[in-house]
Amino acid sequence: MILSIISAIANNNEIGMKNELLWNLPIDMKHFRETTSGHPVIMGQKTFESLGVSPDGTLGKPLPNRRNIVLTLDKDFKREEVEVYYSIGELEKELNETMGKEEEAFIIGGGQIYKLFIDKADRLYITHVDASFPDADTLFPAIDQTKWKIISEDRHEKDEKNIYDCNFIIYERIGK
Ligand SMILES: NC(=O)c1ccc[n+]([C@@H]2O[C@H](COP(=O)([O-])OP(=O)(O)OC[C@H]3O[C@@H](n4cnc5c(N)ncnc54)[C@H](OP(=O)(O)O)[C@@H]3O)[C@@H](O)[C@H]2O)c1
Q: Is the pLDDT of residue 118 over 90?
A: yes
Q: Look at residues 128, 126, 130 and name the one whose alpha carbon lies nearest to residue 164.
A: 130
Task: Read off the pLDDT band of 41 (50, 70, 90).
Answer: very high
134-165 pLDDT, tens per residue? 999 999 999 999 999 999 999 999 999 999 99
55-65 pLDDT, tens per residue? 999 999 999 99
Q: Are 44 and 70 spatial neighbours (Cβ–Cβ below 8 Å)?
A: yes
The dihedral sign for the CA sequence 150, 173, 122, 11:
negative
- CATH of 2-173 given 3.30.420.40, 3.80.30.20, 3.40.430.10, 2.102.10.10: 3.40.430.10
- What was the pLDDT predicted at 87? 96
Measured in angstroms, how far is the CA atom of residue 139 from the centroid of ligand 1? 11
Choose the residue to mutate in 28, 73, 139 for probing ligand 1, maximizing ligand atoms within 8 Å of C-beta.
Answer: 73
Across the range 69-89, mean pLDDT stands at: 96
User: What type of residue sits at position 40?
Assistant: P
Burial class (CB in 10 A: 0-12, 13-18, 19+), 52: exposed
**Spatial CB neighbours of 73, under 8 Å, sequence gap ≥ 6:** 86
Measured in angstroms, how far is the CA atom of residue 6 from the centroid of ligand 1? 14
| Domain ranges, ordered by start, for the chain | 2-173
Task: Read off the pLDDT band of 133 (50, 70, 90).
Answer: very high
Q: Cα–Cα distance between 172 and 162 in angstroms, integer?
A: 27
Q: Is the pLDDT of residue 176 over 80?
A: no
Q: What is the mean pLDDT of the chain?
A: 97
Establish whether the linkage from the previous residue to 57 is cis, with ω within 30° of 0: no
Global pTM reads 0.98
70-79 pLDDT, tens per residue? 999 999 999 9
DSSP the chain: -EEEEEEEE-TTSEEEBTTB-S---HHHHHHHHHHHTTS-EEEEHHHHHTS-B-TTS-B--PPTTS-EEEE-S-TT---TT-EEESSHHHHHHHHHHHS-TT-EEEEEE-HHHHHHHTTT-SEEEEEEES---TT--EEPPP--TTTEEEEEEEEE---SS--S-EEEEEEEETT-
Residues with CB under 6 A from ligand 1: 7-8, 15-17, 19-21, 43-47, 50, 71-74, 86-88, 108-113, 116, 138
Across the range 95-114, mean pLDDT stands at: 96
Protein residue whose Cα sits closest to atom 13 of ligand 1: 110
